[in-house]
Structure 1
């Protein structure tokens, strides 16, 4: 089942539901507050619970100490005395940011969504999102950790939650991906996430939930590429449920004979050939593996090898 799901999963390259510049963030990590005591000079705590400074006035930081502040203080200590980072602190810090990543690599539409934040905070979030976008294909787990760092600073921004969902999906954290994509959808009402959400349900062993999403009214208005992604997931869910005939009917309604050589056509044809073989229709499967290979100039699939194996078996 896992092999089948990988072969029919929405593509992570050009087939992502959103193409605005890579992943996007999470829980706002509010710094702790510590109530201070009045000093002997008679200073009083301010309304925020801050400790007076040496002049009797309130502390300028309001008594708050966020993860960055705690880390700076920890760095002053000898290495052997430094306290290990907690899980929340490590998530907030995120992986090291490459010096060459500035955040300006993001699409303008993404940068615009961060403009309501303080400048330095927005810049840090943008850098984590840009780093995630650069790494999502070659190192999805690190990309995912970058998006968690962005989410810790900007959890109420849809593009950030979208990025966490996409990176979690790429890294195989399907429950987290589903949760984050749902959050993004609640924030911006976008339906482009539906194919990825449906595939998350498949990965979590809930193919019936995938079918429900596949029947969403908005799917009818999808662009051909996005519609193909949902078809692949729907057919895969039918196979997960042992419904090979239904899976074939689902794929036969797709534009298998399209003259386009786009990756989504390649993947539709491959899924159809694979399902034909699973259904015992080897001659038909062989023909469709050849038709897949004929347009698969980028060798996205192993259609040629599959055709060769079938020919040997049928000889």
Structure 2
């Protein structure tokens, strides 16, 4: 009995130390998954207090996921969640710190991804790490599982880590023997466009009174959690507007409208080369505008675009956004097609 107890104790200690399943630790059939990914760039992530990272544990976990070894993945992931929250924050930050939108992920990940982007922007991971440290095991597990989905796809995350490095980061990573992959290299096909990866907005046609008469107005409201004032500030140069006076006109911003069915199609910014360099909104289906509103749009040939307003139909929604300094506006041209 004593001998068996000692064997169990040593197996438990070995399992805790390595993260291997208990059965493997008992039989001493520990195995590794090759190749182990290079994690030397992971400390570049602002993972909070620059706490210690278990790069070996991170590498073995990602390798197990890529190998499809469910037992190792579960045991190693449990170890990360229980004992290595700094490592979890770095892995998740590398996955979501520079993506414009986290994509189809769990609720905890979607909320935390906003903190990850802010951590990369400010180079301070205190808030993001504090959120990871405060998560219960279930939320932390979901965050890790979502991040591992991206890590399992390959070393694309290292491109994002490279964006945090000093000058000429791509060459630095290549010289370190790290494979650098670009989106063009992935051959994702024509079905994947930058717009599909960006925050999503809806639009509400409106009109407003001015000294010169009524003007058509388009109100933007967030449809995904990463859409909002911070996103619009980063992707536009629209001015903060307090509902007084008229915002500046910027002919680079165009609302494309289709004459055939009186529908709005896209809200874009046209670059110096004449190509659309920012697509802020795209119609998912054709909706015919009311005749009187369309006639106003046709006469004006320009439109006041404002946003974001989280709940546009709520009482005083516009006023509250303006009072909070969270309303941006621009006068855009209308391009009929």
For the criterion TM > 0.5, the same-fold answer is no
Higher RCO, Cα 8 Å, sep 6+:
1
Higher helix share: 1
Higher strand share: 2
TM-score normalised by structure 1 residue count: 0.31
TM-score normalised by structure 2 residue count: 0.29
